[in-house]
Structure 1
């Protein structure tokens, strides 16, 4: 241990002699590296005042002993601030990894998702038209997804047109109601219509959004193996990124 390390340890242990205190003050005022180290440990000590996890301190002490037995000079008063450093580091890394994961999935979803265009029914804009399906597609085209969702539900119940489920799921996904969208898409897959295969694509995106990547890959594989040409290139690209 160097003289500087000894002074610092004694300072934080409140064990400096008068002569050592004078030397410590001199170094603090004249040695930038010494000052930075002391200031850093002071900040750590303040942070660690609320840290009192005995188990963690014991684990840290064991870790220090196993990794570098020749350099272990920390007494019980030093273990506490260093345990705080380790705890803060672990928490920060964990949060960072978790947030980056979410951000990456959201980014993937956003780069591939756009609500499906209406390829099922032409829109008739007339104040006299009360047809639920028409009203649903008008709301959908105007990005009024809340209204569109409600109208698509009613129109499906009234007409039994399963294609409407694809648009309802898209509207829900556009509103970030991912869990509900997944259920609607899964319902659509129980039917066989002109748009059923496309639902595998949108369901895969919903799984990406909800961090269910294995399921997303399964849906993409099914979709790529189908005869559907819609978004086929995008599906292959997304699957490659997920592997």
Structure 2
């Protein structure tokens, strides 16, 4: 059992920037912490060379050795100890290789998209719904922004507004609604359409739907869009 959650997050690749700084600090200053990290690293290295078939053969050889009455009893303890160590190694490897914390992944990668559509005008005069919508959005007032985006879209049919509606919904924790909005935006072809794949993938991660998340990330890579290219590859690697 791993006592420190930072170590578990480290091997699951889910540390955020603040946690990574804390991890590095402990690794440098706390000998017990460092020893535990190094111990698990060594275990994982061993498991990279240990497949299931070899494990079965190894256990079979132990069974034969243990059942052989002509063997000296001094062989029993080392064999049993070896079998136990291998079992522990495989269990730890299984946990680390199969444990994905979707909420942590979402939190580490999601931030609402910046406004790249509409230049904001801050004025006492009434300059329109879109302007008000993007002001509210820039101030993280997503509930107000969402209502204004919806009204503005009805008036203008500007498909890019659907992209920001989806972002606002995702920021508000309305993940299912965000998925529907992003999918609606993908019916259009505008300069933000490819970027929608990134946010739709994150929404699927949040919903623990990794198969659809992978699909959206793959579509983003195939689009040759430079937006979030590095992050897309990283996230895809983590959930595969």
- 2:181 pairs with 1:184: yes
Aligned twin of 2:197 = 200
Contact 2:121 2:127 in 1 (8 A): no
Residue 232 of structure 2, aligned match among 220, 232, 235: 235
1:109 Cα deviation after fit: 0.3
Aligned twin of 1:220 = 217
CA distance in 2, matches of 1:226, 1:232: 10
Tell me which of the two structures has the higher relative contact order, counting C-alpha pairs closer than 8 angstroms and 6 or more residues apart: 2
- 2:137 pairs with 1:170: no
- 2:155 pairs with 1:124: no
The structure number with the bigger radius of gyration is: 1
Correspondence 1:43-82 to 2 at 5 A: none
CA distance in 1, matches of 2:151, 2:102: 32
**TM score, norm. by length of structure 1:** 0.57
CA distance in 2, matches of 1:238, 1:192: 25
1:227 Cα deviation after fit: 2.0
> 1:14-68 deviations in whole A, cap 9, x for unaligned?
xxxxxxxxxxxxxxxxxxxxxxxxxxxxxxxxxxxxxxxxxxxxxxxxxxxxxxx
Aligned twin of 1:145 = 142
CA distance in 1, matches of 2:221, 2:105: 18
Structure 1 gap ranges (5+): 1-96
Structure 2 gap ranges (5+): 1-94
CA distance in 1, matches of 2:224, 2:132: 31
Aligned twin of 2:111 = 114
Q: Aligned residue pairs: how many?
A: 144
1:234 Cα deviation after fit: 0.2
**TM score, norm. by length of structure 2:** 0.58
> 1:97-147 deviations in whole A, cap 9, x for unaligned?
9xx97x811100011000000000100011212411100000000000000
CA distance in 1, matches of 2:232, 2:179: 18
- 2:164 pairs with 1:160: no
